[in-house]
Structure 1
Amino acid sequence: MKVVCVGGGVIGLLSALKLANSGAKLRIIECAEVGQESSWAGGGIVSPLYPWRYDCAVTALAHWSQEFYPRIGQQLLVQTGVDPEVCVTGLYWLDLDDEAQALSWADREKRPLQRIDRRSVQRAIPALSRVFKHAVHQADVANVRNPRLVKALRAALQRMPNVTLHEQCAVSGFIREGGRITGVRTAQGDMYADQVVLAAGAWSGELMKTLGVELPVVPVKGQMILYKCAEEFLPAIVLAKGRYAIPRRDGHILIGSTLEHAGFDKTPTDEALASLKASAIELLPALADAEVVGHWAGLRPGSPEGIPFIGPVPGHEGLWLNCGHYRNGLVLAPASCQLLADLMLGREPIVDPTPYAPAGRLGFTV
């Protein structure tokens, strides 16, 4: 099977890797450089920020991926020598308004979430602000260093003789023959395939418009900042009021993120910088004396309820979607890409594919 995958973020790369491992011949097409959009810009928490607030379609993929991540991190390290740094640090949610709902969800879903007292939190994280009164904690939450994950996936794919990577290669539309999609039109010429996978993140909706299909995937801007601290400064992820601090092994601390509807504008703003710094200091007061060493913006692929589109597009045989992961692309990637591969290869799917199917969600009937 010859497959063209449009999009070189984590979703596109991991989709390609799973299909290539099954013997398919892949072309990955990326309009800029691999992994430099949302996959690079995100924080890499291997959990939805507030999983109990999401539809079960999202948490089903998240649960599968959370169990898979440590294994894929080790596999990529062995294969490529690049460590994606999948680190289990745990996550503390501070002063939740819906704590009872969170604990009820955890009990129902058999997730190891528990309420802990303030003194225990302070002992675990001495740098944490004392303004917070209570917390819930999940000890098995990991984070992945997403730029390194992209680098590792790229290295793994480049070692495969059945994979070709085309960067700086914009896709302008699809090649349609009768009712079937047989390839894509690109800046480097037409590229034909038996199957086409659209995994272009925030740009997926724009490409579907070329087929007259309204795909509700839109760009949602997010800005983050980065501090450099001592390696032991923050031992776990902390989250309060929708803002989080994520520790990396080398002492870098990520603070995120904003939620802005600004089209495809990725310009960092002074307003966001001030807001993120205020959140950082509220969480970790010592950061008032630390220097911001990075500030950037990325575009999430926003979708209704954050439920991704995974599966074939009715009326366009040969076209598959794996997009619209909104704020959870990194955590949902392993399960989303496994589900896509299962569907394309006719295997038993890891989860019920119905909630993610484009059929019905795009106004189609089957």
Structure 2
Amino acid sequence: MSVLSAHDVVIIGGGACGCTIAYLLAKQGVSVALVDKGEIGREASWASAGMVGPCACQDRDPWFLAATRLSWRMYHELNDELFDVTQRRIGLGGEGELVYVDGEDDLADLDKKVRVQRDAGLEVIVMDGDEAREREPALPDRAIKAACNPAGRFLDARAYTAIIGAAANQLGAVVYEGKPVTGLVRGRDRVMGVRIGTDELHAQTVINSSGAWAGGIDPALTHPVEPMHGQIMSVQGPPCGLRHNVSQATRWGYCTPRADGRVVVGATHELWGFVKRITPAGVEYIGEVARRVLPCLANQTIIDIWSGLRPQTPDALPTVGPDPRAGDGYLWAAGHASSGMTQMPATAAVLCDLVTHQTPRIDISQLAIERYLNNEPVHEHQVFHRFVQI
């Protein structure tokens, strides 16, 4: 074995989370190496729809509410900060997140969603159908009531990951692409680095941010994360444009705009292992989402269809923090499920706190790996029931 280099921190996984951790640490003068089995940002981050904004979720709070709030603030700060470093934009935009109903039977569900958000202290604007269409002209005539979180935003997750990864590199982070991690380097009572084939990278701290692959890095450090496949497409936007992330209160699926006028429509949820593919059933499902949520998209040109693997956990919460099985020098930052971009900057900020021996700015006790090690019952979040049977 030869030692390629030694760093303060080695991060496994060059997705949006790993790149953000690398950037934030490099800003503080921490020596960082970022290692990815393929190209930076080409897995879940590449496939993400990029909807972000503060949000309450009864099954996942208090972490989810605090993390989405902090992440929203961080995106706005990073939007200008990363432009100053790279002269490139992350595609942050939008006028809110809008949820509507088109039938009397669904009004109670919308009202419940509004109560949950307002009880959490978030602003929600409730409108009748005419008011909603004035705010978002792309809405169908059958919409009878809507609720808008004006803080909702969209961003280009592909651009974000590439830009913040490049910014981390400019600040001194060393990037290794096409280098699968084959194991951990262990010392007495601690992790000392990672193995890449016959080479080693040594570090004081190793952060596992490898998404759906996080549970396979070391056989002694298992994790119940698994790949949740998603098929997504983009279409030409309607003539009136689209200003909001739009969904229906009682049905799955969403439409979210892009700065260049495209609309991203998604998504399927399929559990079939580490396989990415586009299927007729998946395309049919996404097409139905487009026709149902925004009928004005029904005859718009399809621009692209792609798929990715979300890191799904039983409770749809990430695992963040140390692992008692590893001893010192090992931290988790994995398992953000289908809400990765929404909460990811907060995870990165907390990891920086841990590496620099600061008190985490958000309580992470809810996210400890011990919840899977102590045979405690884990609530299965409803996202598990959203996949398409194919």
TM-score range, shorter chain: over 0.9
What corresponds to 2:224 in structure 1? 216
Shift of 1:199: 0.2
What corresponds to 1:172 in structure 2? 182
Shift of 1:76: 0.6
Q: TM-score, normalised by structure 2?
A: 0.88
Q: TM-score, normalised by structure 1?
A: 0.94
| Greater mean deviation of Cα atoms: 286-295 or 33-42 | 286-295
Q: Does residue 1:116 correspond to 2:127, yes or no? A: yes
Matches within 5 A, 1:124-139: 124-139=135-150
How far apart, in 2, do the equivalents of 1:234 and 1:50 lie? Answer: 24
Check the 8 A contact 2:55/2:64 in 1, yes or no: no
1:46 to 52, 74, 89: 52
| Greater mean deviation of Cα atoms: 225-234 or 108-117 | 225-234
Q: Does residue 1:336 correspond to 2:347, yes or no? A: yes
How far apart, in 2, do the equivalents of 1:296 and 1:126 lie? Answer: 28
SS in 1 for 2:37: coil
Shift of 1:348: 2.3
What corresponds to 2:381 in structure 1? none
How far apart, in 2, do the equivalents of 1:54 and 1:250 lie? Answer: 33
Shift of 1:159: 0.9
1:23 to 25, 29, 35: 29
Which AA in structure 2 matches 1:219?
Answer: P
How far apart, in 1, do the equivalents of 2:267 and 2:283 lie? Answer: 10
How far apart, in 2, do the equivalents of 1:72 and 1:266 lie? Answer: 31
Q: Is the alpha carbon distance of 1:68 and 1:49 closer, same or farther for their aligned partners in structure 2, counting shifts above 3 Å?
A: closer
Q: Is the alpha carbon distance of 1:297 and 1:83 closer, same or farther for their aligned partners in structure 2, counting shifts above 3 Å?
A: same
Q: Is the alpha carbon distance of 1:259 and 1:191 closer, same or farther for their aligned partners in structure 2, counting shifts above 3 Å?
A: same
Which AA in structure 2 matches 1:359?
Answer: E
| Greater mean deviation of Cα atoms: 244-253 or 223-232 | 223-232
Check the 8 A contact 1:175/1:184 in 2, yes or no: yes
Shift of 1:153: 0.6
1:33 to 24, 33, 39: 39
1:304 to 314, 326, 333: 314
Check the 8 A contact 2:181/2:194 in 1, yes or no: yes
Q: Is the alpha carbon distance of 1:35 and 1:47 closer, same or farther for their aligned partners in structure 2, counting shifts above 3 Å?
A: same
Shift of 1:68: 2.0
Q: Is the alpha carbon distance of 1:133 and 1:188 closer, same or farther for their aligned partners in structure 2, counting shifts above 3 Å?
A: farther
How far apart, in 2, do the equivalents of 1:231 and 1:172 lie? Answer: 50
Which AA in structure 2 matches 1:155?
Answer: A
How far apart, in 1, do the equivalents of 2:270 and 2:298 lie? Answer: 25
Shift of 1:46: 0.5
Check the 8 A contact 2:63/2:362 in 1, yes or no: no
Which AA in structure 2 matches 1:32?
Answer: G
Shift of 1:100: 2.8
Check the 8 A contact 1:255/1:280 in 2, yes or no: yes
Which AA in structure 2 matches 1:153?
Answer: I
How far apart, in 1, do the equivalents of 2:134 and 2:265 lie? Answer: 22
Which AA in structure 2 matches 1:356?
Answer: L
SS in 2 for 1:88: coil
Shift of 1:294: 0.6
Check the 8 A contact 1:231/1:249 in 2, yes or no: no
Shift of 1:155: 1.8
Q: Does residue 1:323 correspond to 2:334, yes or no? A: yes
Shift of 1:129: 1.9
Which AA in structure 1 matches 2:16?
Answer: V
2:9 to 3, 23, 44: 3
Which AA in structure 2 matches 1:132?
Answer: A
How far apart, in 1, do the equivalents of 2:198 and 2:165 lie? Answer: 21
How far apart, in 2, do the equivalents of 1:49 and 1:245 lie? Answer: 17
The runs of 5 or more residues in structure 1 that have no matched partner are none
The runs of 5 or more residues in structure 2 that have no matched partner are 1-6, 377-390
Check the 8 A contact 2:208/2:332 in 1, yes or no: yes
Deviations along 1:41-100, one digit per CA (max 9) or x if unpaired, are 011110478745533222221111112211111111111111002113211112255223
How far apart, in 2, do the equivalents of 1:18 and 1:68 lie? Answer: 11
How large is the Cα RMSD of the aligned pairs? 2.0
How far apart, in 2, do the equivalents of 1:182 and 1:53 lie? Answer: 36
Shift of 1:231: 7.2
2:254 to 214, 222, 244: 244
How far apart, in 2, do the equivalents of 1:44 and 1:188 lie? Answer: 37
Check the 8 A contact 1:58/1:306 in 2, yes or no: no
Shift of 1:115: 1.8
Matches within 5 A, 1:270-289: 270-289=280-299
Shift of 1:315: 2.9
Shift of 1:342: 0.7
Shift of 1:31: 0.4
Shift of 1:124: 2.2
Check the 8 A contact 1:228/1:251 in 2, yes or no: yes
Which AA in structure 1 matches 2:350?
Answer: L
Shift of 1:293: 1.1
